Structure 1
Amino acid sequence: MHNAVAENVLGTAGTIFWCVQLVPQIIRNYKVKNCEGLPPIMMFLWAASGVPFSIYFFGTDGSIPLKIQPQLFTLFCLITWGQSIYYPPYNVPRRRMVLFLIAFGIIAVALEVGLILWLRPVHRHGTHWPMLIVGIVASILLAIGLIPPYFELAKRKGRVVGINFIFLAMDSAGALLSMLSVVFGTMDIMSMVLYAIVLGLEVGIFASHLGWYLLGGKRILKEEKEAQKLETELDDKIDKIDDIEEDSRETDVVSVA
């Protein structure tokens, strides 16, 4: 049943989520300065998927939100990809990381401008299959990007490490809302399949961590928290001892003088 209002509201909400979902992940990476468990290939594939998505929505004369979304998505994916290779465990030098990002940006802009100028007139004249292929490529890249995290889960017996759950929840919400917008609007099988795959893989990541937590993860987290507390207390004591020794040396220097 077609409902234009529901389609637009749900579609807009889904687009908003898919514009900014990576912001919590970027903030988390910056705070902890460590990206262990966050596969760089995931962020690279997502950034790469933004290029054909942009070509598709510009080439098919999509709405303004649909044209903006891939640009923001690609930008945030690039930032996250840069963090994932710059911070441990990969520790790529900053200069090389920046060169990678610049090279990706130049290639992406060249592809978008060239293919949009070439394929948009073709699409407007009624030949739709080239744009369909571009859309399929974008969808495949996006879906494949969610497979590498499962290798990380396998390494840690199902535990999620390095992936921010707020980011994951926002991305899942974007997929769900976008799927509902298709249900209420014009049924697009390709879009439905894409949203269902993304949502299914992300729910699988949540389920994996929940299973790990219920099967002993709660105890492990408690032990890690206690160990971190003891380490902090030990560091504080060492700092106090260092301060006392420093004061003592200063006092001795003054006495000698």
Structure 2
Amino acid sequence: MVVQEQTHIPLPATVLGAVGTVCWCVQLVPQIYHNYKRKSTNGFPASMMLLWALSGIPFGVYGILQNFNMPLQIQPQIFMALCMIAFGQCLYYSHHHRLLTAYFFAITLLIMFVATEVLLIILFRPIYRAGNVTPLLAIGTIGSILLALGLIPPYWEMFKRGGMVAGINFLFLATDAAGAFFSLMSLLAQPSFDKVAAAMYCVLLGLEMGIFFGHGLWWCLKGRKLSPEEIRALERFGEKENKRKTRELYLEDGSDEEKDKENDSGSENGDDMEKNNGKKLWDVAL
């Protein structure tokens, strides 16, 4: 496979790339607001955001070394930042870390990712300009794999609910797919078509269309027959009790010792109830 650096960027490629970048700049905003409004990220996997943020490293290196149009060069950086904001929400809402702890960890990771990207650009630029394209091809391939792997956890969440999508905002998904589409079109408008980058956008589009199709199929076969209560129960499937709220109630209502004992006995009963509810919800989903 020949990898050719872009020497001239036509206006249509820049415009299409700008549209794709705008989509990817705002794509996670609806999801971040959706998480904040629900005060939950149940059904929205933290692993998805972490893998997507990681994929921004190789794609940033690849786009800059390939001298893509400017919107496509800055796209991975914005993408990484938004992914880490959503990742911080997952740590806070679903994994019950303190807010400062969650975002300190997310920001630290983001700084490490950006530093890694800069280091790789410095290391690989002279190698690439010397005519060795193998490292660049490897980087582009790794990015595509990470991006594809990031869309596997939502399929697992769908499987647990019989095909229903829960926790993922469809406006986010549609905007993300639009960003991939316009970015792909911008590659077609460039003098030299980049197959590695195109493969990444095609993989993203295909997997996201699969999520839309899976939820639509579930709705046609089962979802439209369920009551609003059953749908809400499926959305909350697997949701853990918020430990911060529980702790606050304990401090307000009684001594820690008594409440700890009550919590121990309650947790055992809760586990049994969760198992029974899980079986019922699985029957509902299927």
TM range (shorter): 0.7 to 0.9
State the partner residue of 1:175: 180
Which residues in structure 2 correspond to 1:45-64 (within 5 Å)?
45-64=51-70
Flag structure 2 segments of 5+ consecutive residues without an equivalent: 1-8, 234-286
CA contact (8 A) 1:20 1:72 kept: no
Distance 1:92 1:221 in 2: 34
CA deviation digits over 1:123-182, x for unaligned, max 9?
Answer: 233322222222221121111101110000000010000000000001111122222333
How far residue 219 of structure 1 moved from its aligned partner, in angstroms, is: 3.3
* Mean Cα deviation higher: 29-38 or 15-24: 15-24
State the partner residue of 1:213: 219
Distance 2:100 2:14 in 1: 43
**How many residues matched?**
224
CA contact (8 A) 1:25 1:164 kept: yes
CA contact (8 A) 1:52 1:137 kept: yes
Paired residue for 1:35, among 26, 41, 46? 41
CA contact (8 A) 1:58 1:120 kept: no
Paired residue for 1:20, among 15, 26, 30? 26
Paired residue for 2:132, among 127, 132, 137? 127
CA contact (8 A) 1:60 1:120 kept: no
CA deviation digits over 1:20-46, x for unaligned, max 9?
Answer: 211110111111110010011000000
The yes-or-no answer on 1:76 pairing with 2:82 is: yes
How far residue 208 of structure 1 moved from its aligned partner, in angstroms, is: 1.1
CA contact (8 A) 2:17 2:186 kept: yes
CA contact (8 A) 2:140 2:197 kept: no
Paired residue for 2:113, among 100, 108, 111? 108
Query: Any idea what SS the aligned residue of 2:67 has?
Result: coil
State the partner residue of 1:195: 201
State the partner residue of 2:258: none
Alignment CA distance shift 1:48-1:15 (3 Å): same
Distance 1:225 1:114 in 2: 48
How far residue 113 of structure 1 moved from its aligned partner, in angstroms, is: 2.4
Q: Max radius of gyration: which structure?
A: 1
Query: Any idea what SS the aligned residue of 2:222 has?
Result: helix
CA contact (8 A) 1:158 1:209 kept: yes
Query: Any idea what SS the aligned residue of 2:226 has?
Result: helix
How far residue 187 of structure 1 moved from its aligned partner, in angstroms, is: 2.7
CA contact (8 A) 2:81 2:110 kept: no
State the partner residue of 2:162: 157
Flag structure 1 segments of 5+ consecutive residues without an equivalent: 228-257
Alignment CA distance shift 1:26-1:147 (3 Å): same
Residue identity matched to 2:78: L
Alignment CA distance shift 1:146-1:56 (3 Å): same
* Mean Cα deviation higher: 92-101 or 127-136: 92-101
How far residue 226 of structure 1 moved from its aligned partner, in angstroms, is: 10
Q: TM-score, normalised by structure 2?
A: 0.71
CA deviation digits over 1:92-140, x for unaligned, max 9?
Answer: 3334323421331232133122222221222233322222222221121
Residue identity matched to 2:156: F
Residue identity matched to 1:153: M
Paired residue for 2:146, among 133, 141, 149? 141
CA deviation digits over 1:37-83, x for unaligned, max 9?
Answer: 00110000001111222222233333322222111110000000111
Alignment CA distance shift 1:219-1:46 (3 Å): same
Query: Any idea what SS the aligned residue of 1:187 has?
Result: coil
Overall identity of the aligned pairs, in %: 46
